[in-house]
Structure 1
Amino acid sequence: MLNFLEFLSYVFVSNISPGPNAIISMSNAGKYGLKKSIQFNLGVSAGVFMVLLLCSLFSWVIFDVFPAFQLIMVWVGAAYILWLAWNTIRSDPAVESKYNKEMSNLFLQGVVLQFINPNTILYGIAVFSSFILPQYQSPFILLLFCILLSLASFFCTACWTVFGVIFQRLIAKYTKIINAVLAALLVYCAVSLVIKTF
């Protein structure tokens, strides 16, 4: 039987912890406001659903057949997160209004981020291999878990977005300092991922 207390604790802590999804959600809220930022959150949720679906189907293969895949994804993900940090620190408030008019699809960014975010992939592998697959193998039940977990992801990233909206004026006033802090948090995420591989 699934231990729901441990399962829910792991799901909540994994989703609410500051990582790339949370930091970018908060940053987007400060730049674009709640309505446009929700597109990114919906994209994150859709991407998480797709990644979890793949993890539910292939987690045992990744561990048994391709153990090196986990290490490769950590390094690729860390490099991408460092790239996000670089773009965050270079963000120019004077260009933001122009960027808002030409803003790329935030929904698509949220989806794509999940496929190169090692946190999401490792989370999916861990939650299915540790909690779900030992108890349930029914495709319908696995699909329900994917939906539930993607909704949890949306709720937690939306919390970070609301935080960003509430402090939007403060973010606008201290953009450079806040961008430096957000970039530092992203660098911390990348470094901590790499350190775990040693």
Structure 2
Amino acid sequence: MIDPLYLFVFAGLFTPGPNVILLTASGARFGFRATLPHVLGVATGVGVTSGLTALGIGALLLAVPALKLTLQILAVTWILWMAWKLLRSRGARAEGKDRPFTFLEAVLFQWVNPKVWIIALAASSGYASDLPAHLEALRIGSAFSGVNLFVCLFWTFAGTLLAYLLTTPLAWRIFTTVMAIALAGSGLMVFLA
């Protein structure tokens, strides 16, 4: 029998949000191999963030409104900045200083990714077991990290395949514009958390 936590995490992380949008765009623009550090950073960062949420950091954010607001402002600022960078990119493959996220950048992004916080808070409260706190945090963190690794690989590969359809500068422009708008829109989730 599959632990329902895994199905919840899959459904929550597979749907479009900042990571899915960024990985799909990176796969299309930089290729699968160049995006792998980003993939591994997301999977690691999501696992750490959700594990720490299960240990009580999520409850701390809810209990200290100023801390929550600070995190929300940082999140929306970073997401809008990335959307602006994507919108201003010329599209097809890497140009100039353009590059995919590094492993560390992807790990750190999870701390301001509103979707991860929302799903981690819901998983911690709705799918908790009777394990001691540290084992529960390990259970939730490993579920998020393991499931998300496959989700990230899927969306990166999808972006890589999508690049084969983007054969003109106009197609690339439309793609990067749509992805930038979707990323900026995902920033609205910050204030729903």
Aligned to 2:47: 49
Which structure 2 residues correspond to residues 66-105 of structure 1 after superposition, within 5 A? 66-93=64-91, 96-99=94-97, 103=99
- Identify which range, 48-57 or 74-83, moves more after superposition: 74-83
Which structure 2 residues correspond to residues 22-41 of structure 1 after superposition, within 5 A? 22-41=20-39
Q: Secondary structure at the match of 1:99?
A: coil
Deviation at 1:172, TM superposition (A): 5.2
C-alpha distance 87-105 of structure 1, shift in aligned 2 (>3 A): closer
Q: Does 1:176 align with 2:173?
A: yes
C-alpha distance 172-26 of structure 1, shift in aligned 2 (>3 A): farther
Aligned to 1:15: 13
Contact 2:26–2:100 (8 Å) recurs in 1? no
Deviation at 1:122, TM superposition (A): 2.5
1:126 corresponds, among 119, 122, 126, to 122
Structure 2: distance between partners of 1:65 and 1:11: 24
Q: Does 1:137 align with 2:136?
A: no
2:183 corresponds, among 182, 186, 198, to 186
C-alpha distance 62-35 of structure 1, shift in aligned 2 (>3 A): same
The number of equivalent residue pairs is 190
Structure 1: distance between partners of 2:69 and 2:12: 19
Aligned to 2:152: 157
C-alpha distance 136-37 of structure 1, shift in aligned 2 (>3 A): same
C-alpha distance 181-68 of structure 1, shift in aligned 2 (>3 A): same
Structure 2: distance between partners of 1:188 and 1:104: 21
C-alpha distance 24-63 of structure 1, shift in aligned 2 (>3 A): closer
Could you list the structure 1 runs, at least 4 aligned residues long, displaced by more than 4 angstroms after superposition: none
Contact 1:26–1:161 (8 Å) recurs in 2? yes
Cα distance per residue 1:70-118 (max 9 Å; x no partner): 4443343222211111111001247824336xx4752122111101112
RMSD between superposed Cα atoms in Å: 2.5
C-alpha distance 95-146 of structure 1, shift in aligned 2 (>3 A): closer
C-alpha distance 93-120 of structure 1, shift in aligned 2 (>3 A): same
Q: Secondary structure at the match of 1:98?
A: coil
C-alpha distance 140-42 of structure 1, shift in aligned 2 (>3 A): same
Cα distance per residue 1:114-152 (max 9 Å; x no partner): 0111221222222112212x5332523431331121111
C-alpha distance 135-171 of structure 1, shift in aligned 2 (>3 A): farther
Aligned to 1:4: 3
Contact 2:47–2:145 (8 Å) recurs in 1? yes
Contact 1:85–1:187 (8 Å) recurs in 2? yes
1:110 corresponds, among 90, 106, 113, to 106
- Identify which range, 143-152 or 17-26, moves more after superposition: 143-152
Gaps of 5+ in 1: none
Contact 1:88–1:183 (8 Å) recurs in 2? yes
Q: TM-score, normalised by structure 1?
A: 0.82
C-alpha distance 41-94 of structure 1, shift in aligned 2 (>3 A): closer
Question: 1 or 2, which has the higher helix percentage?
Answer: 1
